[in-house]
Amino acid sequence: MYYMLLIYECTDRPQPGDPGFEQALERVNAYADECRRRGVFVAGDPLKKASTATTVRVREGKTMLTDGPFAETHEHLGGYYIFDCRNLDEALELAAMCPMAQTGSIEVRPLDHIPGLTHGVA
Binding site for other proteins (CB under 8 A): 1, 3, 85-89, 91-93, 110, 115-116
Q: Which is nearer to other proteins, 13 or 85 (CB)?
A: 85
C-alpha closest to that of 13 among 5, 23, 1 = 23
The CB-of-98 to other proteins minimum distance in angstroms stands at 17
Specify which residues 63 forms β-bridges with. Answer: 58
Specify which residues 64 forms β-bridges with. Answer: 57
Q: Are 65 and 108 in contact (CB under 8 A)?
A: no
Q: Which is nearer to other proteins, 13 or 106 (CB)?
A: 106
The CB-of-87 to other proteins minimum distance in angstroms stands at 4
Q: Which is nearer to other proteins, 27 or 86 (CB)?
A: 86
The CB-of-109 to other proteins minimum distance in angstroms stands at 8
The CB-of-100 to other proteins minimum distance in angstroms stands at 19
Q: Is 24 helix (H, G, I), strand (E, B) or coil?
A: helix
Q: Which is nearer to other proteins, 50 or 108 (CB)?
A: 108
Beta strand 105-110 with 76-84 is unpaired
Beta strand 41-46 with 105-110 is unpaired
